[in-house]
Chain A
Amino acid sequence: METLALLLNGFAIAFQPLNLALIIGGCAIGLFIGAMPGLGSVNGVAILLPMTFLVPPTGAIIFLGAIYYGAMYGGAISSIMLGIPGASTAVATTFDGRPMALQGKADKALVAAATASFVGGSVGVVLFTLFAPPLAEIALTFGAPEIFALMLMAFATFVGLGGDDIPKTLFSICIGLVFGAVGLDIISGEPRLIFGGIPGFFHGINFLVLAIGIYGIAEMLWTIEISKGEVMISQATVNFRRIMDTLRELLGTWRMMMMGSFLGYFVGILPAAGATPGSLMAYGVAKTASNNPETYGKGNINGVVAPESANNAASTGAMLPMLTLGIPGSPTTAILLGGMVIWGLEPGPLVFTDHPDFVWGFIASLYVANTFSLLINIAFIPAFIWVLKMPFTILAPIIFILCIVGGFVPTLDMHDVWLMLIFGIVGYLMRKLDYPMAPAVLAIVLGPLAEPALRQSLLISSGSFLIFFTRPFAAVIMALAFILLILPLVKIAFEKYKNPTQAG
């Protein structure tokens, strides 16, 4: 009950006129920033951080929190509309969101993304409200072995992702892992795969550069090829009835939403993981658990719902280690953390007792920001559809410019733009040759997280792999990973048993 009283007090703070205005403004700005490829919540929060000096600290964090939230919603927009991931967290949304748009169901995909984001965000905030301190304790005990087990689980969920051609899937994963190994190795301190010391490779291959290249640029080349330069207009409509129909259809996906929300939240609270692995894992689990996994990647609405609910839940989850441990769970929360220090608020284990108004005002503002993000997003859908209906001859150059900007902004380095163009051509060729690209994206995200965790664990255990099975959390996650790995195989075997005629 004490929590409830504190939360109500928080709502009183969030509904103060200035704070409410900051929430609405922040959501709208965040939506726009998130929708711009390359500009993610990290850039938005970093750029606007100095501006927050004009308002009191609580208002400032509420504003930045709203931007963060809005950007999570916005990331899905360009993923669906243009096939360019608007932010790294929205990469999994392109897998099914883009095919839906190509089938003239862009409005459905957008409504599904917005609704799933709302559910994910709400579940995340509720979990945050009720269980922040105990969850922080769990997050604290998560060491390298647990993180590696979790990453292994993520890989296991993606076994079936590449379709039927297993050698091509493995090739795709390996390429992703190699790209993920470029840059400085923190364990040995040595740079790896820098091609004779090209400075741009020192910071590694930015995941967004790869994603924008092989999705954005390759998608554009692909569309140019199939349209053969002819004027092509996407079939897209939107009206009130279609939105209502979609909402009704979404009721059937509640299981995916809940799965995505809980999974995303728990991945999000782990320091250093963040929302991108969370959303990719949710997609993988959704596909593995599905009765007809072959429809994924071809416009299955569950393939939009699962990652979108997960990335919003994870973004809320990432706030937990930031507030309670003073450790950011994602790059954006790292900047929020910096902001709090500047405002004279020291995040850490004592922040809940020392600054209750600040913490609860912020938590309450997340509930409000979530609602407003949903409303603003749905209100703007007709405008997005209007953009999509433009002839491709106009859209293609715009997409191209957005891709270039998106490749340049994260590191402000021309090196990454060239790299992105190369990835674009490679991605296009991979697509022509029917190589699955999602496993490569997954590997470049998870590889750099899994590798140090594995090596740290083995350093601690002096080379014994038993460390992954003797620690309770690690052992449970390892078991789950094993189940997820063999589940698709069991399913295949079961189907063969049921229909022996189709076997072979």
Chain B
Amino acid sequence: MRKFGNKLLSLGLTLGLGLGFTVASADSAKAWEPKKPVEFVIMAGKGGGADKAVRFIQTIIAKNKLSSKPFTPVNKPGGSGAEALVHVKNAKDPDHTIMFTLNSFYTTPLLQPGLGIDIKTFTPVGRMAEDTFLLWVHKDSGITTVDQFVKAAKAKGNGWIMAGTGKNSEDNILTDFLNQAYGLNMKYVPYKGGGRVAKELAGKNADSTVNNPSEQLGFYQAGKTIPIGAFTPKRLPLFPDAPTFKELGKDFVYFMQRTVVGAPGMKKEAAAYYQGLFKKIFDSTEWQGYMKKKSLQGDFLTGDALMSYWLREKEVQKAILIKMGAIK
């Protein structure tokens, strides 16, 4: 039986290969495939949220044999992603260079115009998800609502410590929003990485944070921290008790994109290949499960729709940065 199976398999393979060759020679332009390992640049350091996502994608590709060539993750965390952006802009082989981006894709070129980055020149491949933000406090503080939080933070004035991931980062933007919206004067203390920020709250070295769900999930489940408000349009299924700021009368919604970007000057055929590939990854049960567990949101976006999303988001970020006084 086994022998027969083998024969059948080899017959199938021969047929398949023959067919494949015919198709390939007939329409070689349509079937573009990477000819060497693909460089998958990460705008952040090893072990962070973006890095974990890329290594997860890499294993989905390998496990489901979605590509004949491997995808090699390369971390370029320097300068809030400046290093990665410059590297991809100057990519010697744009057809084999893609990048996993965050909101620093918009903010870093705005904050550092000297880099000469125009995000319109990059190739839209696929938006894999949007990450969400919540306002977190330590459980021992006894605070369970935003009202109590505002009261406590007001009482402490400048002594209230908000830990975040860096100057002008997503966390800083959200802190500034809270300070303005509620007339607070919280002190923003930057740390390296969201995991470290989450730990500072759990260890009571900070009074509050605005972590992503995945960063605080462990401490939340262990009963150390709780979310009291969500910067989302609707309540998150994982945290049904945390009301949105919209419900509380402050219209503020903020997301972080998790998007795959191709190098400027990528061939159309190559772009089409990566767009198809990442759609397949997005639809895989593995990625869908990952999104659910990490409380990630959003549909798959690609092509022109993704480009117009970028341009819209860029304006939103620009307005926020101007309001913060980070840029003119």
Q: Which residues of A contact B (CB under 8 A)?
A: 42, 46, 49-50, 53, 140-144, 183-184, 186-191, 197, 199, 201-204, 271-272, 321, 325-328, 331, 333-335, 337-339, 341-342, 346-350, 412, 452, 456, 459-460, 462
Minimum C-beta distance from A324 to chain B (A): 9
Please measure, in the bound complex, the distance between the C-alpha atom of A77 and the C-alpha atom of B191, giving whole angstroms.
35
Q: Tell me whether B291 is interfacial, beta carbon within 8 Å.
A: no
Task: Indicate if the CB atoms of A141 and B78 lie closer than 8 Å.
Answer: no
Minimum C-beta distance from B169 to chain A (A): 8
Q: Tell me whether B241 is interfacial, beta carbon within 8 Å.
A: no
Task: Indicate if the CB atoms of B203 and A341 lie closer than 8 Å.
Answer: no
Q: Which residues of B contact A (CB under 8 A)?
A: 46-48, 51-52, 55-56, 58-59, 62-63, 73-74, 76-80, 82-83, 86-87, 111, 114, 158-159, 161, 166-169, 187, 189-192, 195-196, 198-200, 202-205, 217-219, 221-222, 224, 293
Minimum C-beta distance from A137 to chain B (A): 9
Residue of B nearest to A462 (CB): B158
Residue of B nearest to A354 (CB): B221
Supply 13 A–B pairs (Cβ within 8 Å), ascending by A. A46-B55, A53-B59, A184-B78, A187-B190, A189-B190, A204-B78, A338-B52, A338-B55, A342-B59, A349-B219, A350-B221, A456-B189, A456-B191
Residue of A nearest to B187 (CB): A459
Please measure, in the bound complex, the distance between the C-alpha atom of A49 and the C-alpha atom of B56, giving whole angstroms.
10
Contact status of A183 and B51, CB under 8 A, knowing A50-B62, A140-B199, A350-B221: no
Task: Indicate if the CB atoms of A327 and B195 lie closer than 8 Å.
Answer: yes
Task: Indicate if the CB atoms of B47 and A335 lie closer than 8 Å.
Answer: yes
Residue of A nearest to B73 (CB): A46
Q: Which of A142, A186, A197 is in CB contact (< 8 Å) with B190?
A: A186
Task: Indicate if the CB atoms of B219 and A46 lie closer than 8 Å.
Answer: no
Known: A271-B196, A334-B51. 11 other contacts (CB 8 A): A184-B82, A187-B190, A189-B166, A201-B78, A271-B199, A337-B47, A338-B47, A338-B55, A338-B56, A348-B222, A459-B189
Q: How many A-B residue pairs have CB under 8 A?
A: 140
Task: Indicate if the CB atoms of A140 and B83 lie closer than 8 Å.
Answer: no
Q: Which of A199, A326, A333 is in CB contact (< 8 Å) with B218?
A: A326
Q: Which of A143, A334, A339, A452 is in CB contact (< 8 Å) with B203?
A: A143
Please measure, in the bound complex, the distance between the C-alpha atom of A331 and the C-alpha atom of B187, giving whole angstroms.
29
Please measure, in the bound complex, the distance between the C-alpha atom of A283 and the C-alpha atom of B161, giving whole angstroms.
37
| Residues of A contacting B203 in the complex (Cβ-Cβ under 8 angstroms) | 140-143
| Residues of A contacting B168 in the complex (Cβ-Cβ under 8 angstroms) | 189
Task: Indicate if the CB atoms of A349 and B224 lie closer than 8 Å.
Answer: yes
| Residues of B contacting A271 in the complex (Cβ-Cβ under 8 angstroms) | 195-196, 199
Residue of B nearest to A188 (CB): B167
Please measure, in the bound complex, the distance between the C-alpha atom of A42 and the C-alpha atom of B169, giving whole angstroms.
27
| Residues of B contacting A456 in the complex (Cβ-Cβ under 8 angstroms) | 189-191
Minimum C-beta distance from A344 to chain B (A): 8
| Residues of A contacting B198 in the complex (Cβ-Cβ under 8 angstroms) | 327
Residue of B nearest to A325 (CB): B199
Please measure, in the bound complex, the distance between the C-alpha atom of A186 and the C-alpha atom of B188, giving whole angstroms.
12
Please measure, in the bound complex, the distance between the C-alpha atom of A271 and the C-alpha atom of B196, giving whole angstroms.
8
Task: Indicate if the CB atoms of A144 and B205 lie closer than 8 Å.
Answer: yes
Please measure, in the bound complex, the distance between the C-alpha atom of A271 and the C-alpha atom of B202, giving whole angstroms.
13
Please measure, in the bound complex, the distance between the C-alpha atom of A334 and the C-alpha atom of B77, giving whole angstroms.
15
Task: Indicate if the CB atoms of B62 and A53 lie closer than 8 Å.
Answer: yes
Residue of A nearest to B167 (CB): A189
| Residues of B contacting A325 in the complex (Cβ-Cβ under 8 angstroms) | 199, 202, 218-219
Contact status of A338 and B196, CB under 8 A, knowing A186-B166, A187-B190, A348-B219: no
Residue of B nearest to A341 (CB): B52
Minimum C-beta distance from A208 to chain B (A): 14
Contact status of A331 and B190, CB under 8 A, knowing A191-B82, A349-B218: no
| Residues of B contacting A201 in the complex (Cβ-Cβ under 8 angstroms) | 78
Q: Which of B58, B167, B218 is in CB contact (< 8 Å) with A50?
A: B58
Please measure, in the bound complex, the distance between the C-alpha atom of A183 and the C-alpha atom of B114, giving whole angstroms.
16
Contact status of A197 and B221, CB under 8 A, knowing A53-B63, A202-B79: no
Please measure, in the bound complex, the distance between the C-alpha atom of A448 and the C-alpha atom of B193, giving whole angstroms.
15
Please measure, in the bound complex, the distance between the C-alpha atom of A53 and the C-alpha atom of B56, giving whole angstroms.
11
| Residues of B contacting A460 in the complex (Cβ-Cβ under 8 angstroms) | 161, 187, 189, 205
